[in-house]
Chains A and B, each alone.
Chain A
């Protein structure tokens, strides 16, 4: 191309507004759907996704995110403002993938039309000069033209072929195959489009919630998916308000863990019963073995076994003989040894006066060790299995702050009550199962035993099956589009000059794919066509 041409004079008329708008739109569309733009958008997408791996993300770990922001001062605040802690819902990330989506559609539409057209088209005419093709062979054979053609027709089974008579008495076959490449390419891109659409739809209607349930088979080990308040935490999608959850119930009968000698867990499982749909009316329970990697799927939801922990059972015997037993879950503070902490809280029975009650509330806090090891009076745990459980507890008495109207963690006491002097420590002791301690007013606190709890996650995502279907389509399309070669073979057969001298056979080949590595296949085909049989 030369650059010496004088540019044409600008037009003398002024384009109308409508024309200018149309021109602008057309140019934007062309620019957006150009491959170069798509490439740059792909880079931007990769670049924009990266901070999500490097910075803590609010959706995954809110406390860590807040910690990061406080640790980094104005820099953290700035990043927060620029949505770097929620990358995948940020304006800029969404902008990139929406542009990419538009670019994809703009690329796919014309290509789909081309595809339909090319699927109807016949293989192209045999080039006049076959020897100019990248692959070319020629030979004079003794068989006559009809034989060669018949053999070629058999060889080109599965190829799309067309046979033509040429002017100088020659006859040619054009053969083409590998149309699956373009099909695969389109399937891949449409699959990706579908995947993105359904992924986005899923974000509207998904929800998941976590809940801790006692694993005893008793009334406190039943969880029903009745509403948000049944959960300890709940993450709704954009269009989920927590009403209309699909109802089902699960009952956790037990929990079992297996460990190696060094205390590494090797297996978790839990026998559960569940009911959903019509079973809720009839009260029928169905059994299921809940394991890691094997969630319960019922009522369009999935129930996962996330983790487990221990619940120490305490009984408080008041001086008047009243007994109260509580089983509150404690949380593992060490994920290897399952040394746990928590707070089991008691309201004194039979006292109606709120002010008096607030002087006699009890809380049992401290540590729980499933396999205890006491050294110099300090309790630690040496393994996660329930082998020799023990607690090291502080008994606190006074106002727990339960009436203050503020919610409080079930794992902790309200430290401000201790700081105000309204909640005082009245005893500290290590207890094994069956042991007890007596407070100064004659109240007896006994450690009765241990039960287990499991933490469950309930997940709901109505579109994930569609996402999977499109993902599989993408994969199949990708395989076809990268591994299938689109290639052409032409055969021209012409009687040699002078009767009885045999037939001149020419074979030409062209792969329509870059770096396809077509040579070997062509050599094989040409050999067969020229010799009239399979080689070897």
Chain B
């Protein structure tokens, strides 16, 4: 079926606009992070509220009344942060539009080459983050979260950009929908615990011996960051496993074997083992906390390595980047 070039053009425009809006939101969030002394206090307060909800001993009176903490004074910085969040939602909507239009233009799911895949992964990362900032008092960190997203989208939109086109016969299977969406979703979610774990390392160093005081005092408490990392990893890990499993089923019908140590398969295996180690480390005395955070960061590093190095440098059966 021919490619609808008008839709594809609109998709490109949406993508570029979404990226620009993310950059703007990033600036807003950085302002909130940098100048938001009040934001920090708000974070402390909401942290207490969090702990009430999630495991701290409380007395009867505190919980039965269960009123939210008094609303934080709406400073200018706070408003800027809220504007950033609104921009983030707007950017995500445009991002979604770009994906949908791309799919309509090519009459297939919009993750058939690396540009589209990055578009999908970053979209999932943003949506996950939006969910996280609703649940946890970490909105002022959005700038740092958006940084990798914007970098990825920039690389995707410039170096890896591919004209909308159909995919080769090997990719024409309903498994493209299932396998690649599971892989993209889990990779996108993994971005969040990766970033949260890096923050955790800063914050826990500060809480232990006062290092990084200027930066780390503006971070949420280490246990909040740890919880963000754990909850998102626990969501992404089964999804990732599902993606690998579907990949194996697809490989069995496309390439003649379900597992053949193709570079992509190998690196996915490595990432899987690293995240498995992360989950185990949280149940091992002496490995909780910083070590677990290091492992999670490592897992994210392997995921990024899997996206770029394996697709662009090595040659394997997954070389569908559409570049070169």
Contact = CB atoms under 8 A, between A and B. Distances in A.
Interface in A484-536: 511, 514-515, 517-520, 523
Contacts of A418: none
B300 to A, nearest CB: 14
Contacts of B314: 53-54
18 contacts: A42-B273, A50-B266, A60-B260, A60-B262, A134-B56, A137-B60, A138-B64, A208-B257, A266-B166, A295-B256, A457-B256, A478-B237, A515-B55, A518-B54, A519-B52, A519-B53, A519-B54, A523-B63
Which 7 residue pairs across A and B have the least CB separation, nearest first?
Answer: A519-B53, A53-B266, A46-B273, A53-B263, A292-B169, A293-B173, A42-B277
A332 to B, nearest CB: 15
A36 B253 CA distance: 39
Report the contact-size class of chain A (Cβ under 8 Å from the partner).
35 or more
Interface string B53-88: 111111110011010000000000000000000000
A459 B256 CA distance: 6
A74 B188 CA distance: 42
A49 to B, nearest CB: 5
Contacts of B281: 39
Given A50-B266, A478-B241, A57 B52 contact: no
B261 A60 contact: yes
A471 interface: yes
Contact of B231 (A49, A87, A131, A517): A517
Contact of A46 (B234, B238, B274, B287): B274
Contacts, number: 163
Given A132-B57, A295-B256, 20 more contacts: A35-B284, A38-B280, A49-B270, A50-B267, A53-B270, A57-B261, A59-B261, A134-B55, A135-B58, A135-B63, A136-B58, A136-B59, A199-B259, A264-B168, A266-B169, A291-B169, A515-B54, A515-B227, A515-B231, A517-B53
A514 B280 CA distance: 12
Contacts of A88: 261
A531 B76 CA distance: 42
Nearest to B234: A482
Main SS class of interface, B: helix
Contacts of A137: 60, 63-64
B151 interface: no
B296 to A, nearest CB: 13
Contacts of A46: 270, 273-274, 277, 302
A236 to B, nearest CB: 14
A461 B63 contact: no
Nearest to B168: A265
A511 B53 contact: no
Interface in B125-180: 165-166, 168-170, 172-173, 175
Given A59-B261, A467-B258, A520 B53 contact: yes
Contacts of B47: none
A360 interface: no
B60 A136 contact: yes
Interface stretch (B116-124, B198-206, B213-221, B244-252): B244-252
Contacts of B254: 292-293
A99 B81 CA distance: 51
A197 B30 CA distance: 52
Contact of B60 (A45, A138, A295, A518): A138
Contact of B261 (A52, A268, A306): A52
B234 A519 contact: no
Contacts of B170: 292-293
A474 interface: yes
A475 B231 CA distance: 18
Contacts of A54: 263, 314
B230 interface: yes
A20 interface: no
B257 A134 contact: no
A307 B80 CA distance: 58
B323 interface: no
B269 interface: yes
Contact of A52 (B56, B169, B266): B266
A266 to B, nearest CB: 5
Interface in A297-325: 302, 304, 306
Interface string A39-79: 10011011001101110010110000000000000000000
Contact of A464 (B57, B252, B260): B252
A280 interface: no
A472 interface: yes
B38 interface: no
A302 B266 contact: no
Given A53-B314, A472-B245, A267 B54 contact: no
B12 interface: no
B270 to A, nearest CB: 5
Contacts of B245: 471-472, 475
Nearest to A35: B284
Interface in A448-491: 457, 459, 461, 464, 467-468, 471-472, 474-475, 478-479, 482-483
A101 to B, nearest CB: 14
B286 interface: yes
A260, A457, A464, A515, most chain B CB atoms within 10 A: A515
Contacts of A132: 57
A37 B168 CA distance: 45
A139 interface: yes
Contacts of A520: 53
A104 B261 CA distance: 23
A94 interface: no
B138 to A, nearest CB: 15
Contact of B253 (A199, A266, A295): A295
A118 interface: no
A471 B262 CA distance: 19
A302 B251 CA distance: 13
A49 B272 CA distance: 12
B283 A35 contact: yes
A421 to B, nearest CB: 40
A526 to B, nearest CB: 8
Contacts of A294: 253
B262 A260 contact: no
Contacts of A515: 54-55, 226-227, 230-231
- Of the listed residues A38, A471, A483, the one surrounded by the most CB atoms of chain B closer than 10 A to its CB is A471
B189 interface: no
Nearest to A139: B64
B276 interface: yes
A182 B246 CA distance: 25
Contacts of B94: none
B134 to A, nearest CB: 13
Contacts of A266: 166, 168-169, 172
Interface in B272-311: 273-274, 276-277, 279-284, 286-287, 302, 310
B261 A475 contact: no
A514 B63 contact: no
Given A54-B314, A138-B60, A292-B172, A482 B277 contact: no
Interface string B186-198: 0000000000000
